[in-house]
Structure 1
């Protein structure tokens, strides 16, 4: 749990977050349908594909920031306390945030990654949380989501079932497309190198070796030893290109590029979808973008 826990709890209590009032002390009009809050934008888009017109979805971590170290503000707790349900990824991603939420609201927390086979972080007992970076796992997320929504809102069962069937078809088509695209990359070039080793689930499902300066952004260090290890690996494996993430400072990978002589060949999305108009502002579009970048950069 972060050091700021007690400060945020204090803000929650004095801001009237649990009273359902706006900044002027006036009770706000409640929207029709389910009020859903989730932790970050990737989950927000997945949920939005299923909820349809049965409710609305808010997410806490802004696009462009990463959820491992985000420090919430009082309005975030207001969003959670006003919600009918708070959907989280799980796999230890939002554990500290969940602990805070449980202290300030009785909103139910539901984990969408339940049933995913976890991949451990190297040298750690924790699971790598980035299961959503493989569409095969997002199929599990959707199944968990639909089961919960049907129990929470039985009248919307037909809508959730229809939307889920359509979205699952898209995910299966995405899975097939990824398999076809990566088959073009020579096997010896199937190495994904970033600041954060976020593509382990993707790599396991589609035949890539993955590496990062660090395992997860909350463990971010960028030590000389880490830089030396990764630089040596990049040179030994004759890696054709390196990648940067939209939510991580690019200077870390620029250092690896300068020391190894291997160019940075593209930017990928890991912990957030793209801004509106980016061409990667949905989960499926973000994954298509990533695979295109990998395919072009590793040929």
Structure 2
């Protein structure tokens, strides 16, 4: 009796250990920043663990990697980044980690937005985006290699004439999801069906959100859809939803607005009768506060541009972030 009981106990222990080991065999995925990390989590779900290099409310523009980040990448099975020069520090970090695994550039295949036209014609920066950018896929088809020769080793970097904030277009995020699913399947083909189903389900949620956003913005006359943000992060949103965004800074928070730029912006705010200025969760908002004081335009709230919020705040996921931003903009423009 004792021998049978002992044998049974050993078998149960073996099964428990085996089950625990299987449960721990999740893919280790590195994401460059929190918004991307959420998208990866939505596709991978229970099959993966995600580590975001730039944490919630963090600014990837001025992020400085640590040796711990290189160590984390060295043990990852998949690395997912935005691309479009957004993470100027990433190429050297991957090199330092000697990472040889799969690297997904989430923006591969999107309709890339150039900022060159806005720099030349700031007064009507968003009026013709749909026509201006129809052919950018061909121009940027190799942007998975785009960082290789642009990293100068500094945290502050310039995005050139490319706007990297592509996640503010739901249409683009559908491409992100496709690329993420493809990368996960490449690394973990055994769970292909799950990744494909998760991606399909999430894209359906994006479709519903897109319809809702369009309906909400339709309640605001197009002539009133003009807002100010600290840095130029909402170009794709502007293009897709016909909202004009003006900003004292360029597409990187690492850039500085000149006194002439600020003066010109204040003049334009008064001329165009802009209704709202907004703070950002990642930005130094002192300049926005100054602009609000000088123009008399009230601060309409805080927008989430380049990072998600903590779970107890309103932008803990991509879907929540987009909905919160739209609610905040629409509420401010209705006042």
Class of the TM-score when normalised by the shorter of the 2 chains:
0.7 to 0.9
CA deviation vs aligned residue, 1:243-295 (integer Å, no higher than 9, x gap): 11001011110011111111111101011111111121000001100000010
Q: CA deviation at 1:94?
A: 1.0
So what's the TM-score if we normalise by structure 2?
A: 0.78
Answer yes or no: is the 8 Å Cα contact 2:65–2:89 preserved in 1.
no
Q: Return the alpha-carbon distance in structure 2 between the equivalents of residues 148 and 46 of structure 1.
A: 13
Q: Return the alpha-carbon distance in structure 1 between the equivalents of residues 210 and 321 of structure 2.
A: 13
Q: CA deviation at 1:96?
A: 2.8
Q: CA deviation at 1:125?
A: 4.2
Q: Output aligned runs, 1:68-217, within 5 Å.
A: 68-106=61-99, 107-122=101-116, 123=119, 125-217=160-252
Q: CA deviation at 1:129?
A: 0.5
Tell me the secondary structure at the aligned position of residue 179 of structure 2: helix
Q: Return the alpha-carbon distance in structure 2 between the equivalents of residues 31 and 105 of structure 1.
A: 24
Q: Return the alpha-carbon distance in structure 2 between the equivalents of residues 66 and 217 of structure 1.
A: 10
CA deviation vs aligned residue, 1:199-255 (integer Å, no higher than 9, x gap): 100110001112110112344213211210111111111011111100101111001
Q: Return the alpha-carbon distance in structure 1 between the equivalents of residues 161 and 30 of structure 2.
A: 25
Q: Return the alpha-carbon distance in structure 2 between the equivalents of residues 68 and 278 of structure 1.
A: 22
Tell me the secondary structure at the aligned position of residue 137 of structure 1: helix
Matched, 1:276 2:276: no
Matched, 1:285 2:320: yes
Q: Output aligned runs, 1:243-254, within 5 Å.
A: 243-254=278-289
Q: Return the alpha-carbon distance in structure 1 between the equivalents of residues 186 and 57 of structure 2.
A: 33
Q: Quick check: 288-297 or 270-279, which moved more?
A: 270-279
**Structure 2 gap ranges (5+):** 1-22, 120-158
Answer yes or no: is the 8 Å Cα contact 1:246–1:270 preserved in 2.
yes
**Structure 1 gap ranges (5+):** 1-29
Q: Return the alpha-carbon distance in structure 1 between the equivalents of residues 289 and 43 of structure 2.
A: 39
Q: Output aligned runs, 1:231-270, within 5 Å.
A: 231-270=266-305
Tell me the secondary structure at the aligned position of residue 230 of structure 2: strand
Q: Quick check: 267-276 or 106-115, which moved more?
A: 106-115
Answer yes or no: is the 8 Å Cα contact 1:121–1:215 preserved in 2.
no
Matched, 1:45 2:38: yes
Q: CA RMSD in A?
A: 1.5
CA deviation vs aligned residue, 1:66-123 (integer Å, no higher than 9, x gap): 1011111221111111111110000110133223322432243220001111112344
> 2:264 pairs with 218, 229, 236, which one?
229
Other-structure match for 2:129:
none
Answer yes or no: is the 8 Å Cα contact 1:92–1:126 preserved in 2.
no
Q: Return the alpha-carbon distance in structure 1 between the equivalents of residues 303 and 160 of structure 2.
A: 27
Answer yes or no: is the 8 Å Cα contact 1:41–1:273 preserved in 2.
yes
Q: Quick check: 114-123 or 42-51, which moved more?
A: 114-123
So what's the TM-score if we normalise by structure 1?
A: 0.87
Q: Return the alpha-carbon distance in structure 2 between the equivalents of residues 203 and 218 of structure 1.
A: 19
What is the number of residues matched between the two proteins?
270
